[in-house]
Amino acid sequence: MSKIGFIGLGNMGGPMVANLIETGHSVAAFDLVPDAVARAVASGATAADNAAAAAADAEVVVTMLPAGAHVRSVFIDDDKIIDTVGAGTLLIDSSTIDVTTAREVIAVAADKGLEMIDAPVSGGIGGAEAGTLTFMCGGTDAAFGRAEPILAAMGKNIFHAGGPGSGQAVKVCNNLMLAIQMIAVSEGFLLGEKLDLDAQKLWDIVSTATSQCWAMSSYCPVPGPVPTSPANRDYEAGFTVAMMLKDLKLSQEAAASADANTPLAAHATELFDAFASSGRNAELDFSAIIRQIRDS
Ligand code: NAD
């Protein structure tokens, strides 16, 4: 069992810490929000005074932060964890961030002789609580091999996607495809409505036909056909519009830096941006994008 420093104890980090402790690891925890630290302590962690203190004696440091700027701040610019951790400390960043920053931070760590992987997740808060997250990892074979047993305490499916930044690259490609699929399913069901089709009948047929996809079969954006989908509870999240917009913006940054053509993702970003900016939509489940399409 390992001594772990965990930084970022929000909706995801909090339950991830609980699962690390449940499986016998010891955790020194830090967040800028004192209540988040208190919750981690209630689940068995030790409170650290700051990020560097959480990392100081750790064999493994895990971060679960909002965005690339926070990850840079903790590892390089402000808390300077890369400069202060002991030799041999393994660094794992599970935040969803831009590929460029992920590669940059891992390169700075490598210059100091430290192994680091990017390991963003899918599975949401439910997956974090149940310990069933999917981890998509980027880094060397050696770093991934050391990280895998730690990640197994928090997740079910742990993939090594390739070199540094590859985990973030997979995550951004996945969510780009998901956003476009959700918009496509929304358009299909809204057209069906205008053509006097019954939504259940449409679903029964297309969910076994060539347009079948997860956004339709497991997460249908109209109420009825999939009783567990957020459409049946007024689009209570789930995975929020704000988070999908964040990931779509990351996809557009990645596309620009790699000179990739992503016309549908560019339009999806505009639709999610417009929807998030009006009313209180940002905290709805991302499948509520059907309302933007219906109303525009
Ligand atoms: P969150 O906002 O609930 O938690 C982030 C935490 O980081 C906050 O508690 C914040 O106080 C803390 N923080 C920010 N800067 C810090 C610093 N410098 N030092 C210490 N703590 C700091 O976010 P979340 O929902 O837990 O998501 C975390 C990451 O996981 C994000 O990158 C998100 O995109 C990704 N993610 C979230 C979900 C989800 O369903 N919530 C799903 C997949 C991936």
Give residue-wise pLDDT tens across range 208-249. Answer: 999 999 999 999 999 999 999 999 999 998 889 999 999 999
Q: Whose CA is nearest to atom 15 of ligand 1?
A: 70
Residue type, 233: R
Cβ of 14 closer than 6 Å to ligand 1, yes or no, is no
pLDDT for the residue 215: 97
The pLDDT value given to residue 240: 94
Give 144 Cα–ligand 1 centroid separation in angstroms.
22
Q: Give the closest residue to 143 by CA, choosing from 94, 99, 93, 90.
A: 90
Q: Which CATH superfamily is domain 3-163 in?
A: NAD(P)-binding Rossmann-like Domain (3.40.50.720)
- Which pLDDT does position 272 carry in this prediction? 98
Measured in angstroms, how far is the CA atom of residue 287 from the centroid of ligand 1? 21
| CB-CB contact of 229 with 214 (8 Å) | no
Q: How far apart are CA 289 and CA 286, in angstroms?
A: 6
Measured from the Cβ of residue 279, the count of other Cβ atoms closer than 10 Å reads 9
Model pTM score: 0.94
pLDDT tens-place string over residues 104-136: 999 999 999 999 999 999 988 889 999 999 999
226 lines ligand 1 (CB under 6 A): no
* Residue 3 pLDDT > 90: yes
Query: Which segments of the chain belong to CATH 1.10.1040.10?
Result: 169-295
Any ligand 1 atom below 6 A from CB of 64: yes
Average pLDDT, the chain: 97
Q: Is the CB of 62 under 6 A from ligand 1?
A: no
What is the per-residue pLDDT for 162? 98
State how beta strands 46-47 and 155-162 pair: unpaired
CATH 3.40.50.720 domain residues, the chain: 3-163
pLDDT at 220: 97
Q: In the CATH scheme, what is the code of domain 169-295?
A: 1.10.1040.10
* pLDDT reading at 37 higher than 90: yes
Predicted pLDDT of residue 143: 98
| Average confidence (pLDDT) over 146-154 | 98
Q: What percent of the chain has pLDDT over 90?
A: 96
The residue contributing the CA closest to ligand 1 atom 1 is 10
User: What's the CA gap between 87 and 31, in Å, rounded?
Assistant: 24
A 10 A CB-CB count for 207 gives 16
Residue 281 structure tokens: 């939509």
What's the whole-number mean pLDDT along residues 40-53? 98
List pLDDT tens digits, range 259-294. Answer: 999 999 999 999 999 999 998 899 999 999 999 999
Q: Is 154 in the pocket of ligand 1 (CB under 6 A)?
A: no
User: For residue 241, what are its two tokens?
Assistant: 């519009």
Cα of 13 to ligand 1 centre, how many Å? 7
pLDDT value of residue 126: 87
Residues with a catalytic annotation lie at 171
**Residue in the structure block whose two tokens are 């069992």:** 1
Q: What does the pLDDT look like over 174-204, one tens digit per residue?
A: 999 999 999 999 999 999 999 999 999 999 9
Q: In the predicted model, is pLDDT for residue 207 greater than 90?
A: yes
